[in-house]
């Protein structure tokens, strides 16, 4: 992670303070000193800000904990032509993300301490957002031999996953869940049964009409069911990533009702778009798992509203044009998401489907709890990682202006409401909107 740099004491006044962890929603001010929150509340600086303290007038806008993104592909090392740690960090800062967890699918795979140390060193050099790393669950993310969980956790791994690959072997997953218990670690997987997931878009009438191989919703449900049976067998801790189907949510609800140690997330494209976004072979809408039916999309939004889904992650997956400007079947899976994470998520608030504090909890304190981080809260002594945003500001998404090195987004021209004005990490302003 980046080391803290000295920042002057700063007063954020005339703010709408939002802390989902404590359900705080009040007008007031917040003071940061030496990279931490020193005080906050409705009555702070009621008599004015003392001399010697830098002042930021928030203009009545929302001041919340910085977003914590559970799922980011950095592409460095190995694919720097698609993204680098620096460009991803600048994109994150512009999106109000103050901390992100990097998947291990780099080249080489982060399955040893050298991989974790590389990311940590580059994050310190870039000095922007905080970057945490997952350790690869298996050697080379090949799904066979477990890595050294204890050693990797000692070097900062916040969980273990094979990232965009899946652990198909049930015995390997069983051993991983049991082994992780010894280190109080979480196993993360985006479930899909490989033998059923050989297609390129959602299975159904549209795939048939387009002549594309489909991926059944059951590919996700079957492996999720298997993994949660193994959680029940081992008493391990498991996080299901990128849920995209209504039936998967029912599986998670049953597991939570049993008291299993299970959490889950989704990404904005799964509650914003459905399979129709593929249109006439739009490769920028090709993701894994694929965009599903409208019924599934609505179910994912409802799962966020009722608390079944614990977190929202960007699943930032940058690709260059050579990887995306191909026939649909050959194009890479994945879209960028760091700079669209907050505005796309806020659409649920503006539609009245999710309360503002509930939505922010899925982006701040809940991801922090899943990763075991002391972050995602507005409280004295906490790191001064903040996002200031205009809840009402309407704008049109334009990937050409994004900070990410890649521009593979299906949201070009998409109208959103809610814009990041300032991002603060350890008391340092690392992004400020210019308009």
Catalytic residues: 315
**Spatial CA neighbour of 4 closest among 428, 397, 328:** 428
* Torsion angle in degrees (nearest 10) through CA of 92, 97, 101, 106: -10
- CA-CA distance, 36 to 29, in Å (whole number)? 14
Pick the closest to residue 77 from 87, 65, 68, 85 (CA basis): 85
Q: Over the range 312-348, which residues count as b (16 or more CB within 10 Å of their CB) and which as e?
A: bbbbbbbbbeebbeeebeebbbbbbbbbbbbbbbbbb
Residue 102 sits at φ, ψ, to 5 deg, of: -90, 130
Through-space distance between the first and last CA atoms of the chain, rounded to whole angstroms: 30
Tell me how far CA of residue 218 lies from CA of 112, 197, 250, 372, in angstroms: 34, 9, 13, 31
Q: Are 1 and 10 in contact (CB under 8 A)?
A: no
43 three-state secondary structure: coil
| Residues facing 262 on adjacent strands | 238
Residue 315: both structure tokens together: 């699943």
β-strand pairing of 130-136 with 97-102: parallel
Query: Would you state the structure tokens that stand for residue 119, as one six-digit string?
Result: 């990311």
Q: How far apart are CA 318 and CA 336, in angstroms?
A: 5
Identify the bridge partners of residue 33 per DSSP, sorted by sequence position. Answer: 36
Q: For the packed helices 85-94 and 113-126, what is the interaxial angle rounded to 10 degrees?
A: 60
Q: What is the dihedral of CA 118, 384, 417, 346, to 10 degrees?
A: 80
The residue among 273, 222, 268, 266 whose CA lies nearest residue 244 is: 266
Start-end of H helices in 127-195: 149-154, 170-181
3-class state of residue 350 by DSSP: helix
Spatial separation of the C-alpha atoms in residues 82 and 220, rounded to whole Å: 28
């Amino acid at each position: 992670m980046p080391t803290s740099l000295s920042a002057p004491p700063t007063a954020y006044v005339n703010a709408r303070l939002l802390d989902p962890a404590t359900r705080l929603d009040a007008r007031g001010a917040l003071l940061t000193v030496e990279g931490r929150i020193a005080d906050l509340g409705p009555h702070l600086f009621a008599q004015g800000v003392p001399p010697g303290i830098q002042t930021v007038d928030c203009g009545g806008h929302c001041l919340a904990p910085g977003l914590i993104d559970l799922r980011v592909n950095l592409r460095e090392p190995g694919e720097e032509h698609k993204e680098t740690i620096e460009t991803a960090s600048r994109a994150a800062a512009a999106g109000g993300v103050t901390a992100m967890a990097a998947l291990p699918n780099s080249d080489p795979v982060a399955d040893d301490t050298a991989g974790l140390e590389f990311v940590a060193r580059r994050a310190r050099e870039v000095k922007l957002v905080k970057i945490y790393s997952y350790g690869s669950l298996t050697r080379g993310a090949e799904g066979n031999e477990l890595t050294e969980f204890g050693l990797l956790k000692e070097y900062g791994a916040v969980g273990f996953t094979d990232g965009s690959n899946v652990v198909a072997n049930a015995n390997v997953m069983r051993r991983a869940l049991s082994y992780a218990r010894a280190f109080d670690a979480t196993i993360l997987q985006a479930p899909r049964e490989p033998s059923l997931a050989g297609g390129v878009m959602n299975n159904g009438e549209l795939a048939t009409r387009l002549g594309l191989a489909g991926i059944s919703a059951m590919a996700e449900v079957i492996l999720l069911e298997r993994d949660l049976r193994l959680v029940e067998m081992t008493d391990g801790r498991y996080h299901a990533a990128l849920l995209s189907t209504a039936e998967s949510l029912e599986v998670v609800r049953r597991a939570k009702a049993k008291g299993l140690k299970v959490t889950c997330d989704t990404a904005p494209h799964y509650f914003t778009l459905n399979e129709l976004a593929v249109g006439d072979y739009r490769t920028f809408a090709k993701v894994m798992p694929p965009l599903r039916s409208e019924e599934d999309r609505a179910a994912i939004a409802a799962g966020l509203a009722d608390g079944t889904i614990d977190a929202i992650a960007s699943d930032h997956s940058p690709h260059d044009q050579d990887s995306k400007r191909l026939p649909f079947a050959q194009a890479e899976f994945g879209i960028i998401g760091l700079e669209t994470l907050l505005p796309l998520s806020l659409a649920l608030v503006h539609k009245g489907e999710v309360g503002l504090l509930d939505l922010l909890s899925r982006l701040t304190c809940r991801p922090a709890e899943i990763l075991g981080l002391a972050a995602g809260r507005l409280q004295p002594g906490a790191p001064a990682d903040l996002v200031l945003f205009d809840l009402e500001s309407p704008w049109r998404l334009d990937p050409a202006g994004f900070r990410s090195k890649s521009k593979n987004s299906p949201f070009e021209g998409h109208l959103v409401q809610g814009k990041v004005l300032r991002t603060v990490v350890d008391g340092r302003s690392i992004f400020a909107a210019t308009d």
